[in-house]
Chain A
């Protein structure tokens, strides 16, 4: 390892602020994009399923209505 100790590593030669903020922000942004993308799938599938249910119900209602009229 390049650093003598773990505290030396975290100190980054007195530039800890710059190094760790850079890596931290990058990590947070990438994790956020990943989580948002994965959640999107769930909400999309739910939405598609609900729409399908809705259309099925409408079709059934139309069929029932026709039956009652005749």
Chain B
């Protein structure tokens, strides 16, 4: 039943698939993010207490939630690589790490800026903020390990172990707002039965989350292609591509 997937274990085939998907992901993300950002900034109503600066939510929440999804995707890729020794899974994990690190940085910075007017402080060492900062350090550690060895297989194994150990941090981040007292509020949109947000505010947020997801896809595809090229630099098809596009 899943046999149609088998040819994609070949790097060249997966590289071509990534090239085909790339423009669609890029176009979708640009369109969705344009709609979401313009809607969120200019058309959504203002919030009762925070007035206009609540609009930071339209980048803070997508970046924060998806940074954790990216981590789980990275851990899944590592698991696949360890169980089935699929080299392309290593390439996927290595491609995801810088994207996740950037998202985490965005969520931390926008959170600090948002905290200044709403909490009166940009940083507190409470459970949510501290565990989330550790997520950034995990990403940076994974990136550093990926670049620490010339042998890519060895680098991926080292980075993979750190990735899997770091998974324990994800539920801690997620439930930190419920387990401990923290300044950070609990989830706003994941409880769909009783959404604590008006639909006029919710729509641009959902559009932006989707737009961010497509943007993550775009960046991951670009970086995945790079990783595949780097890991197959001795293959004839890569050399052919390199002599065609490389020296000029």
Contact = CB atoms under 8 A, between A and B. Distances in A.
B229 interface: yes
A26 B222 CA distance: 19
A22 B56 contact: yes
B43 interface: yes
B214 interface: no
A13 B222 contact: no
B42 A1 contact: yes
Q: Determine chain A's interface SS by DSSP, over half rule.
A: helix
Contact of A26 (B63, B241, B246, B247): B63
Nearest to A34: B219
Contacts of A29: 102, 105-106
A30 B219 CA distance: 9
Contacts of B99: 33
Contact of A37 (B43, B59, B226, B243): B226
Contacts, number: 111
A46 B215 CA distance: 27
Contacts of A33: 98-99, 102, 219
B113 interface: yes
Contacts of A1: 42-43
Contacts of A40: 223, 226
Interface size class of B (residues with CB under 8 A): 35 or more
A52 interface: yes
A23 B41 contact: yes
A51 B238 CA distance: 12
A15 interface: yes
B51 interface: yes
A12 B47 CA distance: 12
Contacts of B215: 30
A19 B226 contact: no
A12 B55 contact: yes
Nearest to B38: A1
10 tightest Cβ-Cβ pairs between the two chains A and B: A49-B246, A13-B52, A45-B246, A15-B53, A48-B242, A49-B242, A12-B52, A46-B246, A22-B110, A37-B222
9 contacts: A2-B46, A19-B41, A22-B110, A25-B113, A29-B105, A37-B222, A42-B245, A50-B247, A52-B239
Given A33-B219, A49-B242, 15 more contacts: A9-B42, A12-B53, A13-B52, A19-B41, A19-B56, A22-B60, A22-B110, A23-B41, A26-B110, A33-B99, A37-B226, A41-B225, A46-B246, A47-B246, A53-B247
